[in-house]
Structures are given as structure tokens and as C-alpha cells.
Structure 1
Amino acid sequence: MRYRNIPGTELTPSVICLGTSNLGETVSRDTSFELMDRFLDKGGNFLDTAKVYSDWVPGERSRSEKLIGQWLKSRNNRSHIVLATKGAHPELETMHIPRLSQEDINYDVEQSLRHLQTDYIDLYWLHRDDPQRSVEDIIDTMNALVQKGKIRYFGCSNWRSERIEAALQYSLSKGLQGFAASQTKWSLASYYQGSDPTLVTLDKNELAYHERTGMPAIPYNAQASGFFSGRYKSEMLLEPSPENKNVWNLCNEKNLHKLKSVESIAERLDLTMTQVSLGYLLAHPFPVFPISGCKNSSQLEDSCAAGDVMLDDQAFVELRGMD
């Protein structure tokens, strides 16, 4: 597994980040512990979670954070982990009401520290934006948390480049810490606008911003819900079925054409489709750390192996040209 520094920070995480939204929910506690243990064995050290993870199902809240906290305590390995979590997410019942005030952020940070059983968070994401709130207020709030030692660095999740740039310019003008990275929805897939307007997909405009500025990207949904994982072959996606219901919304002509290209490149380079799809993201000229949400050891092994993949120029140009 390769490692890469996040510019402007002392963080050098593995290039593959383990996503944990399913841990403690569809993935049991024992399996979750096994996956995190195995991830470290394969050279991974970058975990991404969120205070809101699992809150969409009845029962205990923040299960992912709490389970990771239990694992960190039982393994006594906190210093070996680049730990990222997210807060300031709207309440799920009232997604139209932002939660990005100083009070909301401070409350969520304290809750996450308690759940994770740690004194500090390496990389804290603001899970959603509120365009009505000034970037000056937000950056000041985050820097106060850095000064208190609660968080080391912070980033934005589901923010658009115009707001990221405004925050950057303010932080530079005041000599303050700014966003270390951006986390958005990004994979090889071409997405349609979903039902949640608070989500941001890395489209051509957002990609151009990263290419121009070098802003690191830490994409979620990096395998398009498994569309490019090798689980689905082209012939399985000709009509809707119980087997492809999770990705049927991606089965347009453009994505099916991309899938065939990934299949062909994987065969030519003797790689898996996961390794090609994640390798494509890693091949961009700015720092990229794809988040892979593995549910079993076989998926984990495949994703970790992608951390050593260096796609050749022919493959990258072919896939890049399909956007």
C-alpha cells in the first residue's frame, strides 16, 4: 500500500481510505473488527467515518463512530491511525435545515471525540454546507477547535468549489488554517442529479478546480456502489433485476460503455476491475485518496491491492476521455 502526504499537513495516510458507513449496521461488530485489523495488516491506516452513520436505521445512533472507538481502545493503536470523521450534518428528519453554526459544530466534535474514545481527530469534515453562513465564521470556528487541540486539520464534504475558494482566500488573508481537502461523490460513473440537493458530485467544473489548485480529493462512492467493482458484467445490466437493483440507475449508455472499457483494461493489464476503477482516480495529477466501503475480506483485499496500482498512460487517457 502506498502512502501520500496531504499537502500543508503532517498527515501521510494510505492512498486507500477505509469507509465505515456500514460498520455496526449491516456489518457485525466482529466482522468490523476483523476488517479494520486486516486493513492495517495490508498497510492501510486511513479510516473515514461520521457522527451520522447508521442514524438512518432504528436503534442506537452513531454506531460506526462508537464501534471504531471500541476497536481503537481494544487495539491500543490510536497513534497509528489517520482518523477522519464528519459532523455538522442536518438532522435526518429535517434535511432542509442546516446545522453549521458554531454551536452545532462544537457539539458534534465533542460527541465524536466521546464516541471515538480519543482526545483528538486528525481530519474533521464539515459534512454539509450552508451557503447562507459566512465562510469567515466557519473558518474561525474550525481554527478555534485546532487551537484547543480537539482537531488537527479540517476539510469540507459536499461543498462546491466557489465556497471552498472563498474559504481559502479568507484563511490565507488571516494567516489561518484552511480546508486540507474536499470530500465529494466521485467515481468513473456519470451521475444523474439525485434527490438530495445537499450532496455534491465532482463534475467537470469541480474536477477542473482540483486540477487547477491541487486541492486533495477524498472521494466517496468511489466504486459507484459496486458498478465498477467486477460484481456486474455488461450482460447483467441489460434490464432491471433483483441482482442489479442497486446500480440500475447508473445503467445508461455512457456508463455501460465505461464498464466495457474497464473490463477490457482489467484484462489487458491483468488487474481486477476494482483496481482499474480506483487506480483511475489515483492517477490524477492532484492527491486523491479514494474511500472504499468494504463489507468482507475479499472486497478489502481487492481495494487494498488498488493502493499499489499505477495505471499506464494509455488506460488513463482512455478512461479520462470518456468523461
Structure 2
Amino acid sequence: MKRQKLGNTELYTPPIVFGGNVFGWTIDEKESFRMMDHLLDMGFDLIDSADVYSRWAKGNSGGESESIIGKYMKSRGNRHKLTITTKVGSSMQQGGDKDISKTHILNAVEDSLRRLQSDHIDLYFTHWDDNKTPVEESLGAYQKLIEQGKVRYIGASNLSPDRLQESLDGSKKEDLPKYQVFQPEYSLMQRNKFEGKIQKICQENDLGVTSYFSLASGFLSGKYQSIEDIKGSDREQFLKDYFDDRGKKILNALKDISDHHNISQAGIALRWIIQRPGITAPIASATKPEHLKSFEEAVNMELTKEEMENLNAASNH
């Protein structure tokens, strides 16, 4: 399996990153362990998490994903076999304020390390911007963590083009750690949050890019054909706006290509991202080991120029 370097780091990613947001949310601890065993067996050894995952599940308070990953690594004794990314900046309380102050980062990392039962985080992301903390303050906190060996590299997610550029300029000017990876929302359903200014900044600064919501919360898998299919489900809040003419056009284009290759629509949707300029690896989740077949499909095929153009045309705004 071909691996890609993440920015200017010593970290390498398989063609698809596994999204650990499902751990403790849509799959329990036992199934999460089973999923991670399968992932490692298949060679997918990079897992993406965040301190707030899976806060939104009933009865949860945040940190469940990290805790499950930590218990798994301890029980298997395989921390060295996994690359773990997690994030800081979101509030553990629903509707709480974002916070990337030095104080919050230095406190939050200790909680994440405790839950992960690890002495280090491979790649630590600014999850969301609070739009008030000076970029040099956040980067200074990360510098301290890197010097202490608690964090190897840093990345950013969901920053505006202006704040991302300001952060990159600040790291250079003040000799502070540089964001090496950017994590935007990106899929056939959502292209505007990456393409354009952010994409240009990432390419000009050699940033790795790992996109999230790569399957648009499962919409692109073709599993849901109408809004009635998601009524009352965990996915409703994410998918309710997708069942319009554009969404149907994208699903039809995916179906035509998936039928031609006799593989899943999810596999085609992931492959489209893999072949897009500026992308290092998409992030995708699964709730059953058999769903990982789409990962293998995406890795082992290539879309033709015509197929890419058809998907681009269907998904244009």
C-alpha cells in the first residue's frame, strides 16, 4: 500500500485515514476494538480523533473516542504500530466557547494523553479557531509541548484562509512550530471549504491535507435515498440539506461509475478525493468491518480522466 508523507514531517499516512469519531458514538467499545484490529490487519494505521469525540452521543461528556483508543492500545500493547492524531479547541460543553489559548491547550493535552494512555500525540490539531487568541500564543503553547516530547507535530482544522496564513507567517517570523497538516471538510458534496484560497495556501506551504466528512456523513455511500431514510437517526442533522437536485445528480453520477466498475459508491467517492489536487488522504469512518471493503476498493482502482470530469461536473456549485 502506497503511503504519503504528511507535510514536512516524519509521519506517513496510508491512502485513507480512519475517523475515530465513531468510537463511543455509533459503535461501542467492543466493536471499536474489533474495528481497529481489522484496520491494522489491512494496513490502515492512522486514526484521527479529537478531545470532544463522541460528546454528542446520549450520556457522553466527551473524550470517549480517545479513551477507547487508549484502552485498545494498552490492551494490545501496540501504541508503536499506530499513528494517532487528536485535536484541541472545541468545548466539552454543547454550545460552549472555542478556546485555543495557551492555558487551555496546556491543560487539554494532559487530559488527552491520560485518555489515550500515551506519553505523546503524533499530530495535534487546532480543531476550531476562537478568532481571538493571538496565533503566536497558540503556537507558543505547541512549542512547549513539542519541547517536552508530548506532541510530535501540529496541524490545524477549520481555520479561515486569513487565520491559516497568519499562523504560517507567525511561525516563520517568531521561529515557532509550523502547522504541517490542514484538515478541511471536503467531499463531492462540499468543495468550497477547501478549493480556492485554502487549497492554494496549503500547496504554497507544503502542507499535508487530510479531509474530513469525505463521504458527507454517509450520504455519498448511496445508503440513503430520501430524507425519509434519515428521519430520527443520528445522521439527520448532517444530511437533511443534501437531498436536493445537486445531491441527486451526484448520487446518479456515482452510481453510474460504481456500476461500471462493480464496486461501491463509497469506494468511488473516496477515490475521487484521493485523486484531487492537494489532497494527501481523505478521512473516512465505518461502523462494521465489512464496510472497510470500500477502503480497499478506493485504494486499488483509478478513475479515468472522463470519470473524474463527470464527477466534477455533477458536483459543481
Q: TM-score with structure 2 length normalisation?
A: 0.90
Distance 1:119 1:190, change over 3 A: closer
Distance 1:59 1:286, change over 3 A: closer
Which residue of structure 2 aligns with residue 22 of structure 1? 22
Question: Among the aligned pairs, what percent are the same residue?
Answer: 27
Alignment length, in residue pairs? Answer: 309
Which residues of 2 match residues 141-220 of structure 1 at below 5 A? 141-190=141-190, 201-202=193-194, 204-211=196-203, 213-220=205-212
Which residue of structure 2 aligns with residue 76 of structure 1? 77
The alpha carbon displacement at 1:315 in A equals: 1.7
Which residue of structure 1 aligns with residue 248 of structure 2? 256
Which residue of structure 2 aligns with residue 99 of structure 1? 99
Distance 1:253 1:67, change over 3 A: same
1:317 is the counterpart of 2:314:
no
Residue aligned with 1:21, SS: helix
1:126 is the counterpart of 2:114:
no
The alpha carbon displacement at 1:319 in A equals: 2.0
1:65 is the counterpart of 2:57:
no
The alpha carbon displacement at 1:12 in A equals: 0.6
Greater displacement, 286-295 / 41-50: 286-295
C-alpha contact 2:272 2:308 (8 A) present in aligned 1: yes
1:293 is the counterpart of 2:285:
yes
Greater displacement, 50-59 / 6-15: 50-59
Residue aligned with 2:5, SS: coil
The alpha carbon displacement at 1:30 in A equals: 1.3
Q: Which amino acid aligns with 1:64?
A: S
Alpha-carbon distance in structure 2 between the residues aligned to 1:250 and 1:315: 22
Which residues of 2 match residues 210-289 of structure 1 at below 5 A? 210-211=202-203, 213-232=205-224, 236-237=225-226, 240-243=227-230, 246=236, 247-289=239-281
C-alpha contact 1:86 1:127 (8 A) present in aligned 2: yes
Deviations 1:267-293 (A, max 9, x none): 233332111101111102224221111
The alpha carbon displacement at 1:130 in A equals: 1.7
Deviations 1:144-188 (A, max 9, x none): 111111100011111112211111112123343211111122111
Residue aligned with 1:290, SS: strand
Q: Which amino acid aligns with 2:208?
A: P
C-alpha contact 1:187 1:223 (8 A) present in aligned 2: yes
Alpha-carbon distance in structure 1 between the residues aligned to 2:48 and 2:7: 18
Distance 1:89 1:248, change over 3 A: closer
Residue aligned with 1:132, SS: coil
Q: Which amino acid aligns with 1:293?
A: S
Q: Which amino acid aligns with 1:133?
A: T
C-alpha contact 2:62 2:92 (8 A) present in aligned 1: no
Distance 1:190 1:149, change over 3 A: closer
Alpha-carbon distance in structure 1 between the residues aligned to 2:263 and 2:11: 29
Structure 1: segments with no counterpart, 5+ residues: 192-199
Give me the CA root mean square deviation.
Answer: 2.1
Alpha-carbon distance in structure 1 between the residues aligned to 2:176 and 2:28: 41
Alpha-carbon distance in structure 2 between the residues aligned to 1:211 and 1:269: 32
Alpha-carbon distance in structure 1 between the residues aligned to 2:162 and 2:143: 20
Alpha-carbon distance in structure 1 between the residues aligned to 2:156 and 2:127: 7
Greater displacement, 266-275 / 121-130: 266-275
The alpha carbon displacement at 1:60 in A equals: 5.5
Greater displacement, 223-232 / 150-159: 223-232
Alpha-carbon distance in structure 1 between the residues aligned to 2:33 and 2:247: 35
Deviations 1:253-308 (A, max 9, x none): 12211111111122233332111101111102224221111111121222243233
Alpha-carbon distance in structure 2 between the residues aligned to 1:280 and 1:270: 16
Q: Which amino acid aligns with 1:40?
A: L
Alpha-carbon distance in structure 1 between the residues aligned to 2:205 and 2:60: 43
Greater displacement, 313-322 / 207-216: 207-216
Runs of 4+ aligned residues of structure 1 deviating over 6 Å after TM superposition are: none
Alpha-carbon distance in structure 1 between the residues aligned to 2:201 and 2:312: 16
The alpha carbon displacement at 1:206 in A equals: 3.1
C-alpha contact 1:217 1:289 (8 A) present in aligned 2: yes
Distance 1:51 1:190, change over 3 A: closer
Greater displacement, 139-148 / 63-72: 139-148
Which residue of structure 2 aligns with residue 110 of structure 1? 110
Alpha-carbon distance in structure 2 between the residues aligned to 1:93 and 1:190: 24
Greater displacement, 166-175 / 203-212: 203-212
